[in-house]
Each structure stands twice: as structure tokens, then as C-alpha cells.
């Protein structure tokens, strides 16, 4: 393997036709380069999508009421109804698979109405206002920049406090001001600011979340005359249970409590995040599979090129091989020499392709970091290639190179020494 004369022969053989060797090696180089870059790009896209979700619970479901579409128990179809606080208690008691349950309510004076609903001194703004409970921060968590989030005592005592998004704070307060302990007026009622938060999402989702105001659910219900109304339920399941089971059980209970026909599937709306997350995971799995298929096809083209050049080299050296056989060289010596040339060519080309590919991915990563530092939101971030995957690809390439060299080698030893010596 480490015979100096053999390696001199290998290098000499490859140098005889430099252009042919270079073009053949380029096929292998390009294949491994494309594999590394595409794997890095796929991972960057995956990281961007998952980062955009922040700490959002992927085992969650959201359930809300809708108009009925089936008459039931004397009620006509098209009836509207609302969930309420007692539903929250019943769901907790009757569905042990629930991990977190967060009833939520949005105020009727939405920011989309185009009217300013929040005032502080001479500053006004139009923001979405929600009534929440502490559990909601476990389902769609935010990062608290100052102060605290809503706690159980706030809900129990119906305290007039709010937690505001960072953009709300920027619009209503001066840069050097501390919002904590200050008061803002929400639709004519004063509330004390106890916390400022930043979204863990990216893009438009983050911008929307940071322009919202959250107060205790019970406070919103009482102050703005919502009674015990609940807009929707945000639910997560235990880690050992699918949230789809919880969703099914919750719908059965809620239909029974609000006199909705069991077969009326339109009367309760829902969004199962777990199902959507699985779809996204399968999508990225498909992207990875496609990348490997395309890249392996490119690599195989390169390996076939190596095999072809080795066939040409063997043909050119037929007489030389005949002399080696006549002088006592065994078939193993001939095969190992030709395979060594093939493996050497594919290894060098593949390793250079791997290094260049990693370099390109790192350059893209560096450029993206600069873009993010400048304040731009991107859905493509941290492209990277798993080292074990890259090395596995290189090892597969070397094995393929050995196989590519075996075919010409087999042909070489099948030629009888006397015929090889006569070959011109």
C-alpha cells in the first residue's frame, strides 16, 4: 500500500494526460461539492422555518366555536354560541391527557378597525388586546425584557395590569423611560404595565405579536362586559400522548355542553399544530431525499468517468502489464495497483470538493449573520452540514472509486501475458 515505486507509477500514469485526468476528477469534485452545498442549503431552510416558530408548542391544538350547521334539540342550524369559563374547568377535569390549557379572549376593539384604542399622555396607538392566563406563555412563550408575565393571582383577583409587546412600549414610551409601574389607558380604562416582552418568532409573526397587549382573562371579561365568554382554547397534550386524541375528546365534551349535534363537524373549528408540524417535517425529509438522489446521480456520473479513464489507462498500459505478469507479478498486484490509482483520484477530488463545499456554506452563513445583525428577518438561517454526513459521503465515494477501478483491473488480469506482450 505504501510502496514508493507504486505511488510514483500512479502519479506518473495520471500525469501522462493531465487534461483527461483533470476533467475526470472534476466530475467527482462537482458531485461532492453539490452534495455539501445542497445539504447546507436544506438545513438552512429548515433552521429558518423552525426558528420562525420560536418556542411554540408543536404538540398543541386551538379550538374555537363556529355557527352550527345541523339543527339539534330544538335549535335551528346557523346558531352561534360561545365557550365559557365553566368549559375550562370541565376540560381540565375530564381530559387527564391535557398538559396545558389556556382559554383566550380577544377584545372586540381590534387594531384592524383602524381606530386608536390605547392612550398614554399625548401618544396613542391601535393595538390588539387579549385576555390571557399564565398557561398561555407555555404554549406560545415570549421573552420577558422587563418586569414579569401574568400570574395566577392576577387572574384570580382580576387585577388591572397589562403586559405589553416591545413595539407597544417603543410607541407609547420614550427610549429612556421604564414602562414598568406606569399606566396606559385601554379604551377608557387605566391599566398598570407590569411587563414588556419580545416575540420569539421571526418576520411578520413577531411584528404582530410585539404590537399586542395582554391582560388577565378575567379582567378583560369583567371590565369590557364579556361575562364569562371565552374566545378559544389553546391546549397542549402530555409528551406521551398525541394532541389529536385530546382534540377529539375536547370536541365531544364541548358539543355535548353546548347542545351541538355530534355529527356537526363544522360547529367547532380547530387547528392542530402537531399535524402541521409533522407535514413540515415530512417536507424537509423529502427535500433531503431529493438532495441525496440528485447528488448521488452526479457522484455516480463522476465515478463512471473515473472508471472510463481507468479503462483507457489499462488499455494504454496493456504491454506494460504483460511485462509485469511475465516477471512474476500476481493478479493481486495488478488489481491493487489499478484500484489504488482509482481510489487516489476519487479521494483527492472528493476531499477538495468537500473542503470547497464547506467553505461556500460557511461564507453563506457569514453573510446571513451580517444580514441578521443589520435587522433583517430571514427565513433561511445557519446553513450547516453535519460532519458525519459529509464524511459518510466521502467514504461512499472512495468505495465507489474502488469499485470503479475493479472493473478495469479485472479486465487487465484477464489478458494473457503473451498476448499483452504482442499488443501494440
Q: For residue 174, which phi and psi values (nearest 5 degrees)?
A: -70, 160
Q: Which residue has the cell 390549557?
A: 101
**Percent of the chain scored above 70 by pLDDT?**
81
Q: Where are the beta strands (DSSP E) in 73-218?
A: 83-84, 98-106, 118-120, 123-125, 128-132, 142-147, 161-165, 183-186, 189-199, 212-216
190 vs 339: CA distance, rounded Å: 82
Using CA atoms, how far residue 17 sits from 13, 88, 197, 313, 322, in Å, is 8, 79, 67, 10, 22
| Residue in 235, 234, 216, 232 with CA at minimum distance from that of residue 224 | 216
CA distance 66 to 74: 18
Average pLDDT over residues 241-259: 95
pLDDT at 196 over 70: yes
- For residue 161, what pLDDT is reported? 97
pLDDT of 293-325, one tens digit each?
887 777 777 777 777 777 776 666 666 666 666
Where are any strands of DSSP class E within 188-246? 189-199, 212-216, 229-230, 232-237
| Residues 6+ positions from 47 with CB-CB distance below 8 Å | 380, 381, 382, 383, 384
Does the pLDDT value for residue 362 go beyond 60? yes
pLDDT surpasses 70 at 328:
no
Residue 416's pLDDT is 61
Question: Cβ–Cβ contacts within 10 Å for residue 69, how many?
Answer: 15
pLDDT at 366: 82
Mean pLDDT of the 88-97 span: 95
Q: Write down the pTM of the prediction.
A: 0.73
DSSP calls for 383-410? ----HHHHHHHHHHHHHHHHHHHHHHHH
Q: List the grid coordinates of 351.
A: 476531499
pLDDT of amino acid 320: 66
Residue 229: how many CA atoms within 13 Å on its side-chain side? 19
pLDDT attached to residue 117: 87
Pair 416, 321: CB distance under 8 Å: no
Average pLDDT for residues 236-244, to the nearest whole number? Answer: 92
Write out pLDDT tens, residues 370-396.
766 555 556 677 777 777 777 777 777
Q: Is 353 helix (H, G, I), strand (E, B) or coil?
A: helix
Is residue 164 predicted with pLDDT exceeding 80? yes
Angle at which helix 4-15 crosses helix 331-373, to 10 degrees, equals: 70
Length of the chain: 424
Taking the C-alpha atoms of residue 191 and residue 175, their distance in angstroms, rounded to an integer, is 20
pLDDT at 9: 62
Buried b or exposed e, range 197-220, using 16+ CB within 10 angstroms: bbbbbbeebbeebbbbbbbbbbbb
Lowest-confidence segment of 42-51, 147-156, 157-166, 327-336 by average pLDDT: 327-336
Of residues 299 and 423, the one with the higher pLDDT is: 299
Mean pLDDT for the chain overall: 83
Query: Which burial class, exposed, middle or buried, applies to 180 when counting CB atoms under 10 A from its CB (0-12, 13-18, 19+)?
Result: middle
DSSP β-bridge partners for residue 236: 60, 100
Would you put residue 171 in left (φ > 0), alpha (ψ -120 to 50) or beta?
alpha
> Which residues, in sequence order, are bridge partners of residue 104?
232
**Is the predicted pLDDT of residue 115 greater than 90, yes or no?**
no
Cα–Cα distance between 182 and 177 in angstroms, integer?
Answer: 10
What's the average model confidence in pLDDT over 224-245?
A: 93
Q: Dihedrals φ, ψ of 106, to 5°?
A: -105, 135
Taking the C-alpha atoms of residue 351 and residue 356, their distance in angstroms, rounded to an integer, is: 9
pLDDT number for residue 381:
73
Higher pLDDT, 417 or 95: 95
* Residue among 3, 30, 1, 29 nearest 345 (CA): 29
Is 4's pLDDT higher than 80?
no
Q: What is the dihedral of CA 276, 280, 281, 283, to 10 degrees?
A: 140
Residue of 384 and 176 predicted with greater confidence: 176
Phi, psi angles (nearest 5°) of residue 190: -85, 140
Q: Quick check: 352 pLDDT over 90?
A: no
Amino acid at each position: 500500500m505504501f510502496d514508493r515505486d507504486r505511488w510514483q507509477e500512479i502519479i506518473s500514469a495520471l500525469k501522462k494526460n493531465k487534461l483527461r485526468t483533470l476533467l475526470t476528477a472534476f466530475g467527482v469534485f462537482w458531485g461532492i461539492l453539490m452534495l455539501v452545498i445542497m445539504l447546507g442549503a436544506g438545513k438552512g431552510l429548515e433552521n429558518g422555518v423552525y426558528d420562525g416558530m420560536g418556542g411554540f408548542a408543536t404538540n398543541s391544538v386551538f379550538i374555537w366555536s363556529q355557527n352550527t350547521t345541523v339543527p339539534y334539540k330544538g335549535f335551528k342550524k346557523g346558531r352561534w354560541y360561545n365557550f365559557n369559563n365553566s368549559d375550562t374547568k370541565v376540560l381540565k377535569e375530564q381530559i387527564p391527557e391535557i398538559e396545558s390549557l389556556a382559554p383566550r379572549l380577544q377584545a372586540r376593539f381590534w387594531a384592524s378597525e383602524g381606530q386608536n384604542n390605547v392612550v398614554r399622555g399625548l401618544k396613542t396607538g391601535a393595538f390588539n388586546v387579549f385576555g390571557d392566563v399564565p398557561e398561555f406563555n407555555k404554549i406560545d412563550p415570549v421573552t420577558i425584557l422587563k418586569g414579569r408575565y401574568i400570574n395566577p393571582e392576577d387572574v384570580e383577583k382580576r387585577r388591572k395590569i397589562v403586559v405589553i409587546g416591545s413595539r407597544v412600549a417603543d410607541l407609547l414610551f420614550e427610549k429612556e423611560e421604564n414602562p414598568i409601574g406606569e399606566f396606559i389607558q385601554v379604551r377608557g380604562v387605566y391599566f398598570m404595565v407590569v411587563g414588556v416582552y419580545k416575540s420569539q418568532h421571526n418576520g411578520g409573526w413577531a411584528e404582530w405579536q410585539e404590537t399586542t397587549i395582554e391582560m388577565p382573562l378575567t379582567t378583560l371579561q369583567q371590565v369590557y362586559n364579556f361575562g364569562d365568554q371565552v374566545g378559544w382554547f389553546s391546549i397542549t397534550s402530555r409528551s406521551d400522548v398525541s394532541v389529536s386524541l385530546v382534540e377529539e375528546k375536547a370536541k365531544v365534551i364541548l358539543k355535548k355542553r353546548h347542545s351541538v349535534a355530534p355529527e356537526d363537524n363544522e360547529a367547532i373549528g380547530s387547528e392542530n399544530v402537531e399535524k402541521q408540524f409533522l407535514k413540515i417535517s415530512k417536507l424537509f425529509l423529502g427535500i433531503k431525499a431529493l438532495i441525496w438522489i440528485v447528488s448521488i446521480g452526479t457522484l455516480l456520473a463522476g465515478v463512471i468517468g473515473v472508471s472510463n479513464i481507468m479503462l483507457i489507462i489499462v488499455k494504454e498500459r496493456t504491454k506494460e502489464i504483460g511485462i509485469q505478469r511475465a516477471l512474476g507479478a500476481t493478479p493481486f498486484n495488478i488489481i491493487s495497483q489499478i484500484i489504488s490509482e482509482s481510489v487516489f483520484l476519487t479521494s483527492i477530488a472528493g476531499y477538495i470538493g468537500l473542503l470547497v463545499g464547506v467553505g461556500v456554506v460557511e461564507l453563506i452563513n457569514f453573510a446571513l449573520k451580517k444580514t441578521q445583525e443589520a435587522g433583517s428577518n430571514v427565513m433561511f438561517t445557519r446553513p450547516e452540514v453535519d460532519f458525519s454526513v459529509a464524511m459518510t459521503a466521502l467514504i461512499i465515494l472512495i468505495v465507489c472509486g474502488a469499485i470503479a477501478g475493479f472493473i478495469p483491473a479485472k479486465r487487465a488480469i484477464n489478458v494473457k501475458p503473451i498476448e499483452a506482450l504482442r499488443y501494440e
